[in-house]
Structure 1
């Protein structure tokens, strides 16, 4: 046996590694489920075969992603029980029922209609099949609702009491579920899921457009993805700002780490870049904008922004990691918004499907949503340290009493198995993306919507140059 890390750190790394794999698949599943629902709805309304064929192109991707999400999620449940038994014991009376509600209201709904959605297109009526697709889409969002409620309660616990054996118990389930950070966290994550899917679809479509600019399905996919980028990216920026204000209220130490402020101050600058030095309590080579952090966080250029020295140093998170993961997330979000604006300019000029550089950038941005989610998740989870339940239950008191060699061995096993199993799944996804979304000759030429078909400007999002 061997020991690379102590038991708690190895358990944390194992959880971080597995959640990093897992969170990507549900996020894409949520966005793809709703995208498929919209495609099928447009097909039923307009009768245009192009929507059905694009739906068939992405349904296979959805099936693979959904399956990998389920498998990686099951592993998470077992890992919490084995490596974090103290956490499970103390939070079980609250988190156990919430996870049970997720299974009862979301997973059963998805499982009940998933088979009809995947295999019933030619076996049941169109309306029934569309209803099954709606139920799967709704189920993915309900699942996100409960999972984000669980995580948000750990960040901003409310509606609880502690019994005589040290367990958290619910005294008000409404406060438990709708805890202070939940609405902001839920909205932020759902928007992230939609943007992740939009840029994935847009990147795949752009790749096919560079190969064949006459591919009508690729045009439809790219146009819809760019509309999503244009509309949702600014909304996500606003949602992120509101989430930041909520974090300042309930987790000010996390904000201090995100901003890289060691000293609390009025008129705090926004540090764009730099390297936080925890030992010297300073940020080296920083590039900052005066008073901008106060303006953003308090909406007052002279507002007070807390610093890390306002809190015990033993409670500080990993400041450099939180600092940089936050900036990566923000940078990607701004890049998404810029791509959306670029696509709007190309659309106005009639060059949405011929702008080669836009397509190349869209390909590079295809994984941007997953990277932003991972960066945001690191900011959220590492910023909560050294607590599992913020301010109440420390991480070191949440771990199972395991020997370090055993946890290190399981960490290594997880890394090897995950890269083999999920690496094969991701490789297969890339093979699916390489398939050309072919169409038959009866498809209506893009850019010529017909009133007789009941196509509105919104439904004709794919129109070339408009």
Structure 2
């Protein structure tokens, strides 16, 4: 029995889509932020500039909260495999189970083992040990991305397995399973997306404070670093996305056809449809704005190359075209907006106006959430484009769901929506409040490329003038973190 016309399968898909949409934004942010923290600490150790240490402490608090929310939201995903997708878990468990275990053993244990040292050991352990702890956390986040994307990529392009008498996928070649045909492209694309997402958040935070105080050294440093990352990585991401698209055309042609809105095959070069409204029932893109032959040039690097359409795919194997069509355009559009911001920052830097351009700072603030939106749009393109399969071409989504009734799934979906918005909404609000506080600009005389302690000489503590005037014993000032 359905709820509001929705059956258990649709509700289970909606629940998984909702929970993973919340979850994915936190790892995307923490992967990039962990690497940024490692860079900040390395720069502090190398140059001795206090501004890097202050920025490290500033973003470390934010990382801790984002990491915690990512862990909590991720735990729910594993439970859903057993409750809503038990058939899928049973059939894919021999292949995917060990890889998920490797993610815990090699990534999560590394992150969790050194996270406490990174968060609480700044003033308690040696500088080298603390930096190694920060580096271990950053490497752990990358290991986590490696294994999770290996799992997802196998579902997209399964390889290295056989099917036993019980209908289970069993491993035959672990190298082929892990390094399946789409895995390298997805790994590069996702890691670069994480770095871009973090750069946009850091850049927006720096720009926000520059609009209020152009002389804040911390804001200037974080904005400059973020704009360098954006200018360098955005073009790489576009190139990586192009290679990923060509690989997807070879391995999952129906997904690319839906992304391009190609219901019909084109024998003499396919147009690039910029905008339009895909009508899946009528098999046409209405109100299409298109550029002749450009899709063939992008996908085949030949203006006249033929491209097959969805008319070559059985109708029951089509993905939901409107969703894939528009999510892909959101992702690509935001990618080019990132490229534009990076290019404008280079122009401003060349003119010596990187910190004196309010229009650039406002643009950066507006682009702050763009990385998260692009990551979600890319995930929707990837996962909805795989439909109607959970394991592409081998296991259909309708065959993967648990034998549940719609009311049971609907009640848990409502509970997830209420709890997630309450808990994670408060967490995000707290992160935004932390970002609203300006970073410490650095103490005078210490931001000159000099180490904090050199040749066994410890700098004299700063004296609180108010306490001195009042005749109270002098006490060192506590630098803001």
Q: TM-score range by the shorter chain?
A: over 0.9
Work out which of the residue numbers 436, 439, 457 in structure 1 matches 2:438: 436
Written as runs of structure 1 = structure 2, the 5 A alignment for 1:265-414 is 265-266=266-267, 267-414=269-416
Q: What does the per-residue CA deviation read over 1:405-441, in whole Å, with 9 as the maximum and x for residues that have no partner?
A: 1101111110000000101101111111111101343
- Work out the CA distance in 1 between the residues paired with 2:28 and 2:398: 30
Aligned counterpart, 1:204: 205
What is the alpha-carbon distance in structure 2 between the residues aligned to residue 175 and residue 118 of structure 1?
A: 38
Contact 2:51 2:440 in 1 (8 A): no
Kept after mapping to 1: 8 A contact 2:160/2:172: yes
Q: Distance in 2 between matches of 1:68 and 1:115?
A: 16
- The equivalent residue for 1:457 is none
Map 1:21-420; keep pairs closer than 5 Å: 21-266=22-267, 267-420=269-422
CA distance in 1 between partners of 2:117 and 2:283 (Å): 58
Q: Secondary structure at the match of 2:393?
A: coil
Q: Determine if contact 1:203/1:359 at 8 Å carries over to the other structure.
A: yes
**How has the CA–CA distance of structure 1 residues 443 and 339 changed in structure 2, closer, same or farther, with 3 Å as cutoff?**
farther
Three-state SS of the structure 2 residue aligned to 1:284 is strand
Check whether the contact 1:30–1:194 (CA below 8 A) recurs between aligned residues.
Answer: yes
CA offset at residue 386 of structure 1? 0.3
Note the C-alpha offset of 1:303.
Answer: 1.1
Q: How many residues align?
A: 450
- State the shift of 1:317 in Å: 0.9
* Partner secondary structure for residue 276 of structure 1: strand
Larger Rg: 2
SS in 2 for 1:304: coil
C-alpha contact 2:48 2:449 (8 A) present in aligned 1: no
* Equivalent pair of 1:253/1:306 in contact (CA under 8 Å): no
State the Cα distance separating 1:444 from its structure 2 match. Answer: 5.9
Q: Is the 8 A contact 2:203 2:226 kept in 1?
A: yes
- The separation in 2 between residues aligned to 1:9 and 1:178, in whole angstroms, is 31
State whether residues 217 and 442 of structure 2, in contact with CA within 8 Å, keep that contact through their aligned partners in structure 1: no
Separation (CA, whole Å) in 1 of partners of 2:136 and 2:314: 48
8 Å Cα contact 2:2/2:8 also seen in 1: no
Question: What RMSD, in angstroms, separates the aligned Cα atoms of the two structures?
Answer: 1.4
In structure 2, how many angstroms separate the alpha carbons of the residues matched to 1:264 and 1:38?
49
Distance 1:431 1:80 in 2: 35
User: Counterparts in 2 of 1:442-457, with a 5 A limit?
Assistant: 442=444
Contact 1:277/1:284 (CA < 8 Å) preserved in 2? Answer: yes
Structure 2 distance, partners of 1:57, 1:402, is 47
Which structure 2 segments of 5+ residues have no match?
A: 454-481
Aligned-partner Cα distance in 1 for 2:445–2:96: 51
Residue 80 of structure 1: how far off its partner (Å): 1.3
Could you state the TM-score of these two structures normalised by the residue count of structure 1? 0.95
8 A contact 1:2–1:408 mirrored in 2: no
Report the Cα distance in structure 2 between the residues aligned to 1:12 and 1:119, rounded to whole angstroms.
40
Kept in 1: contact 2:49–2:449 (CA 8 A): no
Show CA shifts across 1:320-376 (max 9, x none): 000000000000000000000000000000100010010001001001000000000
| SS of aligned partner of 1:18 | helix
